[in-house]
Amino acid sequence: MKPGSKIELAAIDPAYKGRHESHEEARPDTLKHVQKMEELQYQMYAEKKHALLIVLQGLDAGGKDGVVRHVIAGMNPAGCKVAGFKGPTPEELAHDFLWRVHPHAPAKGEVVIFNRSHYEDVLVARVHKLVPKAVWAPRYQMINDFEKLLAIENNTTILKFFLYISKDEQLARFEERLDTPAKNWKISDADYKEREYWDEYIAAFEDALRKTSTRHAPWFVIPANHKWFRDLAISAIIVDAMQAMRMRMPEPTVDLGAIRQLYHAAADEQGRRGNDRNRRAG
């Protein structure tokens, strides 16, 4: 999404799959990206000059958890965290809407994934009229200012992904949850009730994408009917963004020559002790 551009989600095919025809065909490229991400994240963690925030938004069953499992799973948990944002608690409601979000922003050297995010406050809050328009409408600019703060003050690269699925695909995924015992726990009454607000959510997403896709925090609309294409596209975008950081491994903070001398002295001493033990045993 170019900053300031308009979007009609109806004009985008959520079943788009690019040049690949199948999961099998795309899998080598996705694996290559995931492996590269692991390497780049290691550099980020060591260098501690950059941060990466990945925002995942979408309608129910859009695949946010799937992205975390299949794309982000290769990253080292030492420098990677996932934060989920559900309905705000009474304590959170007593503060401004960004109060609960800011503590989860990545530190330099970290990757953080928001599985849902501060955007719930211009999506759910708008669709269900939890607050009046006079409250949620100014939040777009507040979000832009918040993200600009992260980008400028903490050198944070922000990538925001809207996982776009069709209404028919959503229903098929709900059916899969019903038919798969391991996925039964995901079922809720709200899943089907929220479908009644499909058009309202689409309008809310279109406004959010248009008003908050900025140079320092762009939105990417990901056709997500095909889970494998979703993973391929997101992994490629993340790798491109991390490579653009031009990270380098930091220089050692100690005198390696002196450390090597200590190592060789310790190894020689260990060898002498081993020889002494062997002579006494003989």
Is 0.85 surpassed by the pTM of this model? Answer: yes
Distance CA 113, CA 160 (A): 10
Q: Is 171 exposed, middle or buried (0-12, 13-18, 19+ CB in 10 A)?
A: middle
Q: pLDDT 10s per residue in the chain (282 long)?
A: 999 899 999 999 999 999 999 999 999 999 999 999 999 999 999 999 999 999 999 999 999 999 999 999 889 998 999 999 989 999 999 999 999 999 999 999 999 999 999 999 999 999 999 999 999 999 999 999 999 999 999 999 999 999 999 999 999 999 999 999 988 888 888 888 999 999 999 999 999 999 999 999 999 999 999 999 999 999 999 999 999 999 999 888 888 888 898 888 888 888 888 777 777 776
Distance CA 238, CA 218 (A): 12
Q: How far is CA 223 from the centre of its chain?
A: 16
- Residue 203 in tokens: 């309008």
Q: Which residues contact 227 (CB under 8 A, 6 or more apart)?
A: 23, 63, 66, 70
Q: How far is CA 153 from the centre of its chain?
A: 20
